[in-house]
Amino acid sequence: MFAIVLAAESAHGAEKAAFPPFDPWHFPSQLFWLAVFFGFLYFALSRFILPKIGNTLERRESSIAGDLDEAARLNEEAVEAQKAVEVSIAKAHAKARETADKARTKIDKNIAAETAKVDAEVDAKLAEAETRIEAFRTDAMKSVESIATDTTEAILGKFSTKAGKADISSAVKSALGEG
């Protein structure tokens, strides 16, 4: 840039003094103040600013590491809790199955007892009915002889045939005994 300025000035024909920062006479003082400024900047950065930044980064790193450790611990607890819940659910299913089996067994026993009771009542009623039927049959068989004798006498009366009651009764008895 210095060359541009010099070229521009020489083009105008007037030789002016160089731009002070580019003037070689000012270089030693500029280098001195540059060294003082960078020395002060180095001192300030190394003593005050960088230690604070380093401490902040260390705290942040330890905080992140702590948070990651805490997250890992909580994850392990969550996995253990999930396993405990699964075990609890499995136990609950087993207990429910056992309770249902006990209830089913109890209901089956009650049904079997009621069925046996009803079967016994039905068997008793059937036995009673068979006894009554047998009594009716016996009574009917006793009446059959007198009915057959009366019927035979009535039929013979229709044909104008006469037979004695004793003969008809003996013929009916012999027919019933053979049949």
Q: By C-alpha distance, which of 151, 149, 155 is closest to 168?
A: 149
pLDDT score of 87? 94
Provide the whole-model pTM: 0.41
HSE-CB for 77 with a 13 A CA cutoff:
6
| Residue of 158 and 124 predicted with greater confidence | 124
Cβ atoms within 10 Å of 148's Cβ, excluding its own: 17
| Cβ atoms of residues 153 and 172 within 8 Å | no
Which of 2-11, 40-49, 74-83 comes out lowest in average pLDDT?
2-11
Write the DSSP string, 7-32: HHHHHHT---PPPGGG-GGGHHHHHH
Joined together, the tokens standing for residue 107 give 């209901």
| Cβ atoms of residues 138 and 166 within 8 Å | no
Q: Which of 11-25, 97-111, 154-168 has the highest mean pLDDT?
A: 97-111
What DSSP character marks residue 47?
I
**CA 54 – CA 107 distance, rounded (Å):** 77
CB-count exposure of residue 141 (10 Å: 0-12, 13-18, 19+): exposed
Mean pLDDT of 73-101: 95
pLDDT score of 93? 94
Mean pLDDT of 92-99: 94
pLDDT score of 79? 95
**CA 29 – CA 158 distance, rounded (Å):** 176
The one-letter amino acid code at 29 reads S
- Residue 7's pLDDT band (boundaries 50, 70, 90)? low
**CA 7 – CA 13 distance, rounded (Å):** 10
pLDDT score of 98? 94
- Residue 100's pLDDT band (boundaries 50, 70, 90)? very high
Look over the chain and give the mean of its residue pLDDT values, rounded to a whole number: 85
